[in-house]
Amino acid sequence: MRRIDTRTLSLTAAMAAIYTIFRWVPISKLIGISGTITAAGMIIPVIALLLEPEYGVLAVILGTMIASLSPLNPLKFAGLDFLPGATNLLVVSLALRGKLAQAGAVLVGVIVLFSVTPNTMIFVNNIVSPPLPFFWLHLVALVLLVSPLSMNSLQWLQSRNYTKVAAAIGVLAFAGTMTEHLVGGVLTGLFFGPGIVRIWHTVFFLYPIERAVIVAGAILVCTPLVLNTRAVRESIMRRAEKESIPITR
């Protein structure tokens, strides 16, 4: 059984506070329901680097609940609002630990779950829509997640090269935010009923833009932290040593 120490608890609390702050930063409005899409996903890669998955998920849960105390960020899914961020964190954490098959399995499971959830759509029946499934970009994320790009992520994160670190953050954040997006879609379908079906046509065209903004934000926020924050770099080096990953310069 893993020992829980005060440092881990303090770091979890600190990450929960940071996640809360990012969750208070809106980047766009939700379509069809009240509320906003926030910048919370932009800080997930650093939380995943610093904390083991269970503590990272705990930080996301605490941050979500604390953020919901603001009238600008109320709970929308009967207290399950932490699930999208938690699955984002889980996918990124697993990928960082070299468990790409497990991370991919989570994303596959979420795609399947979205497909069978009431009030969602697999294909958007719109005359101007290309013949793609709603989750076409999530499938792209899945391919990248199990590709050599993800396999090299931890090695790149050790580097002092901005481009390599940014690329690693981008690949991980992309997989995580696409998982988060579909979990949010599942909750929307479950909690808002048949009337919500009409939103998927609009969401289909807009979500690639909003997810690109989140990935770009993650790169801009997390890359300097990885390069310049001692605690983050020490965490990367410990994990690389544990996984016997060669150090990159």
**Beta-bridge partners for 37:** 28
**pLDDT tens digits, 182-206:** 999 999 999 999 989 999 989 999 9
- The Cα 85–Cα 187 span in angstroms is 12
Residue 135: name the closest of 31, 187, 207, 214 by CA.
207
- The Cα 240–Cα 153 span in angstroms is 11
> Helices 162-192 and 200-228: crossing angle, nearest 10°?
140
- The Cα 154–Cα 51 span in angstroms is 15
Global pTM value? 0.90
φ and ψ at residue 108, rounded to 5 degrees: -60, -45
**pLDDT tens digits, 48-94:** 999 999 999 999 999 999 999 988 888 889 999 999 999 999 999 99
- The Cα 225–Cα 138 span in angstroms is 27
Which residues, other chains included, contact 26 with Cβ-Cβ below 8 Å and sequence gap of 6+?
Answer: 36, 37, 38, 39, 72
Residue 102 to residues 89, 94, 105, 190: CA-CA distances in angstroms?
13, 7, 5, 26
